[in-house]
């Protein structure tokens, strides 16, 4: 009885969908981790994703190669990250204000560009997308193969990225230094670490990763750009980062949880629960997660505070 309900919502198909929905969150939350571990709040993830989604589509449109589009998204996200870094590290603009400005700007910029380049409103023309692949041996494993065996390459890229960011943060000298910068920049400075450079690089990388997350939406998951297509995923990625206590695997788990809510939401629509209620599910889950856990998660200590040399 109840078991059938569980299986209806929790099965390989839904979990595979959850992973797909989690992918943009994974990219952006890894970006968020890098930025915040360096001490810079990146509330502009949303705008960076949106820019990446648009530029990924645009580059793909002109080159007809979505892989080149992905690189375009990476670079454009990095440029937006650079803007945030210049504002917050060099000019010491309030980090939340700068991030918010980026979000508003990205919303307007993509709408404007869509009109200018394609003379359309709302949705871009269809472009090439990165096709899903089947991984030879993996797909034959029961259950796991059904979840992981047949996915978009960008999904695999996201999973590799999580491992890479983890190794970077907790096992390399750069990661150690970056964490020191985010916790206690003056201490880092007195042993000769260049705080400003570390923060610049972290925030640029943060934008680049968020850009990839956005591009996944426009040239891998779908094959076109739509106005505001990130739909708050940058903020959900921030929530995943906090929920995951600023660790890559924690954020991965949280992203999958949010992705799962998104996937279940699609199922619930099939059952006939009013669509608008169902659509709220991932967002409600985000709020519950944050309200329940934020008290126990401690952000990097210098976060939000610009560093000034004595």
Q: Which residues bind another protein (CB under 8 A)?
A: 167, 171-174, 176-177, 179-180, 183-184, 186-193, 300-301, 310
Nearer to another protein, 126 or 163 (CB): 163
Handedness of CA 34, 187, 90, 102 (dihedral sign): positive
- 123 phi/psi in degrees, rounded to 5: -135, 140
Q: What's the closest the beta carbon of residue 174 comes to another protein, in angstroms?
A: 7
Nearer to another protein, 37 or 129 (CB): 37
Q: What's the closest the beta carbon of residue 245 comes to another protein, in angstroms?
A: 11
Burial 16-53 (b: 16+ CB within 10 A, else e): bbbbbbbbbbbbbbbbbbbbbbbbbbbbbbbbbbbbbb
Q: Which of 76, 74, 110, 59 is nearest to 229 (CA)?
A: 110
Q: What's the closest the beta carbon of residue 303 comes to another protein, in angstroms?
A: 12
Nearer to another protein, 69 or 300 (CB): 300
Angstrom distances, CA of residue 52 to CA of 135, 182, 291: 27, 26, 30
Distance CA 81, CA 181 (A): 18
Nearer to another protein, 4 or 310 (CB): 310
The residues near 92 (Cβ < 8 Å, ≥ 6 apart) are 306, 308
Q: What's the closest the beta carbon of residue 215 comes to another protein, in angstroms?
A: 29
CB neighbourhood size of 117 (10 A)? 14
Distance CA 186, CA 174 (A): 17
Nearer to another protein, 243 or 246 (CB): 246
Q: What's the closest the beta carbon of residue 257 comes to another protein, in angstroms?
A: 25
Q: What's the closest the beta carbon of residue 179 comes to another protein, in angstroms?
A: 7
- 43 phi/psi in degrees, rounded to 5: -85, -5
Q: What's the closest the beta carbon of residue 294 comes to another protein, in angstroms?
A: 18
Distance CA 185, CA 192 (A): 11
Nearer to another protein, 163 or 273 (CB): 163
Q: What's the closest the beta carbon of residue 301 comes to another protein, in angstroms?
A: 7
Distance CA 310, CA 300 (A): 21
Nearer to another protein, 140 or 171 (CB): 171
Nearer to another protein, 173 or 291 (CB): 173
Distance CA 147, CA 124 (A): 31
Handedness of CA 71, 74, 75, 77 (dihedral sign): positive
* Region class of 273: left (phi > 0), else alpha (psi between -120 and 50), else beta: beta
Q: What's the closest the beta carbon of residue 256 comes to another protein, in angstroms?
A: 26
The residues near 22 (Cβ < 8 Å, ≥ 6 apart) are 158, 252, 255, 256, 258, 259, 260
Nearer to another protein, 171 or 275 (CB): 171
């Amino acid at each position: 009885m109840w078991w059938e309900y569980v299986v209806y919502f929790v099965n390989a198909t839904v979990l595979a969908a959850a992973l797909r929905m989690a992918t943009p969150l994974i990219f952006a939350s890894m970006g968020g981790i890098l930025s915040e571990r360096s001490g810079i709040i990146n509330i502009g993830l949303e705008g960076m994703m949106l820019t990446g989604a648009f530029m990924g589509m645009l580059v793909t449109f002109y080159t007809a190669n979505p892989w080149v589009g992905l690189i375009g998204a990476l670079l454009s996200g990095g440029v937006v990250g650079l803007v945030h870094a210049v504002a917050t590290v060099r000019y010491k603009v309030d980090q939340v204000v700068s991030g918010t400005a980026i979000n508003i700007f990205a919303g307007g910029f993509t709408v404007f560009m869509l009109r200018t380049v394609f003379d359309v409103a709302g949705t871009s023309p269809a472009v090439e997308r990165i096709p899903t692949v089947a991984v030879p041996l993996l797909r034959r494993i029961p259950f796991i193969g059904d979840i992981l065996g047949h996915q978009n390459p960008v999904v695999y890229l996201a999973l590799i990225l999580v491992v890479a960011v983890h190794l970077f943060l907790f096992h390399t000298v750069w990661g150690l230094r970056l964490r020191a910068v985010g916790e206690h920049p003056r201490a880092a400075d007195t042993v000769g670490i260049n705080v400003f450079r570390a923060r610049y690089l972290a925030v640029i990388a943060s934008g680049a990763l968020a850009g990839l997350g956005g591009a996944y939406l426009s040239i891998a998951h779908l094959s076109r750009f739509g106005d505001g297509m990130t739909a708050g995923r940058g903020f959900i990625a921030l929530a995943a980062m906090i929920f995951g206590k600023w660790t890559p695997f924690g954020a991965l788990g949280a992203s999958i949880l949010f992705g799962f809510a998104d996937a279940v939401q699609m199922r619930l629509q099939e059952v006939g629960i009013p669509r608008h209620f169902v659509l709220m599910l991932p967002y409600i889950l985000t709020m519950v997660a944050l309200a329940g856990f934020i008290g126990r998660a401690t952000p990097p200590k210098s976060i939000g505070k610009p560093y000034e040399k004595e």
